Amino acid sequence: MTLLITVIGILILVLLISYFKIHTFLAFLIVSIGIGLCLGMHPEAMMKSIQNGIGSTLGSIVSIIALGAMLGKIVAISGAAQQIAQTMVNLVGTEHIRWAFMITGFIVGLPLFYSVGFMLIVPLAITVAHRYNLSAIYIGLPLLASLSVTQGYLPPHPAPLFLVKQLNADMGLTLFYGIIISIPAILISGALYGSTVKNYMQPPNLSFVAPQIAAENLPSAPLSIFTVLLPIVLIGVGSIVPPYLSEGLLKQFFLFIGDATVSLLIAVLFASYALGLFSPKNASKKSLKQSEITHFFGDAMKDVASLFLIFGGAGALKQILTDGGVSQTIADIMKDSNMNLYVSGWLVAAIIRVCVGSSTVSGITTAGFIAPLMTTTAINPNLMVLSIGAGSMMFSHVNDTGFWLFREYFQLSFKDTLKTWSVMDTLVSITGLLGVLVMQYFI
């Protein structure tokens, strides 16, 4: 009954948004309350779950999205995005630009949380597509496949990192095996499937497209690239260096600057000076006043304000499904299965992901009942981390904030978002499992 209520609730959510055209946030609240009551939750506890879901979801991403939007705006209006786009096109040509973004997405995705990488790189992809009259989806989908794979498969992202600790896996081996499995997953879901969406010419959200600036007024390519890579470098250093340091002030310093919010704040401040306030040698390019930069940052907030409501609504539904026992019900159903353990772990994570929407919740929940089984079976814990991680990326849809982030930036219809984004994530999940099943015979 629990799963039936969940499925019916999600179907109603889809109808409210796509057919009845109810605002997404209102639809989320209506369905969250309906599912909560049908699951037998006490009204007071249900409303507390909704509030906690909204708060926990927004609390973890508001600062990242806001700072990412600010950085994207200053990179755009200064001409840095245009300079980077032109540099990439000059290096690889427009016919190979999607491959350049796919590789960039993987490199950026290794140290960065998905939302940070999305905010930094997707506006560049949209700008390139707009400049050269290319399909934004055709350019962006390989990039997002790379970001999705790194988020689901590889530590130090939250769910894989938690799984490594819970299943007593080796961090280095998991990362090594994960990179091997990532390559075919990205090629299939990003490069191969991404090549089928070339005819999607729907204009993306033009708020993220930088205005055309004369070449002589552009910032230098090294400065432009450094500004975009700065938070990536800081987060990377904050992840790599601390394990080799003893406890003390220096270790705390690297952990501090490696925090996603802190690294983006440093990048925004640097960009405000280097790309805005700093007076360039080229007299034809005027520096910006602080009041102008503040105005542009205000515009950046307007561009992403609607996302906060959508994310909050998705967080409310996620929390209702978690507190209502959906995750535990799925785990109990699968616990006594005789299925291959890698497939079992993947399937449980996939079902929880589809029902709850959060890949992190999916991975963490699945670890709870897989961990005891690891002590009685000769299963490779590193591959199990990857199997569960792959399952946690299964079929992103209306209860996943990533679904709405993608739709908002690329301005697709509900149906086309399912046909592009959701299919891509499903391929990421399935190819990851196949990679694990193949690799088990070689290690």
Terminal Cα distance for the chain, rounded: 41
Give residue 59's pLDDT band: very low, low, confident or very high (50, 70, 90): confident
Give residue 336's pLDDT band: very low, low, confident or very high (50, 70, 90): low
Q: How many residues does the chain have?
A: 443
Spatial contact of 313 and 352, defined as CB atoms under 8 Å apart? no
* Of 26-40, 261-275, 359-373, 384-398, minimum mean pLDDT range: 359-373
pTM to 2 decimals? 0.74
Q: Can the peptide bond before residue 156 be classed as cis, meaning omega within 30 degrees of 0?
A: yes
Compute the mean pLDDT over every residue in the chain, rounded to the nearest whole number. 86
**What pLDDT is attached to residue 282?**
45
Tracing tokens 């205005």 back to the chain, one arrives at 211
Most confident of 154-163, 179-188, 285-294, 397-406: 179-188
Give the chain's domain count: 1
Give residue 111's pLDDT band: very low, low, confident or very high (50, 70, 90): low
Q: What's the helix, strand, coil split of the chain in %, to 5?
A: 80, 0, 20
Tokens of 277: 């306030």
Tracing tokens 């390519």 back to the chain, one arrives at 221
Q: Determine the Cα–Cα distance for residues 411 and 129; give it in Å rounded to an integer.
A: 14
Give residue 280's pLDDT band: very low, low, confident or very high (50, 70, 90): low
**What pLDDT is attached to residue 418?**
94
Tokens of 276: 């805005």
Inter-axis angle of helices 114-131 and 97-109, nearest 10: 160
- What domain range is 221 assigned to? 2-439
**What pLDDT is attached to residue 369?**
67
Residue 283 in this model has a pLDDT that exceeds 50: no
Residue 229 in this model has a pLDDT that exceeds 60: yes
Sorted by sequence, the CB contacts under 8 Å of residue 23 that are 6+ apart come out as none
Q: Determine the Cα–Cα distance for residues 156 and 58; give it in Å rounded to an integer.
A: 21
Q: Which uninterrupted H or E stretch holds 240?
A: helix 221-240
Query: Mean pLDDT over residues 368-373, rounded?
Result: 71
**What pLDDT is attached to residue 439?**
95
**What pLDDT is attached to residue 279?**
46
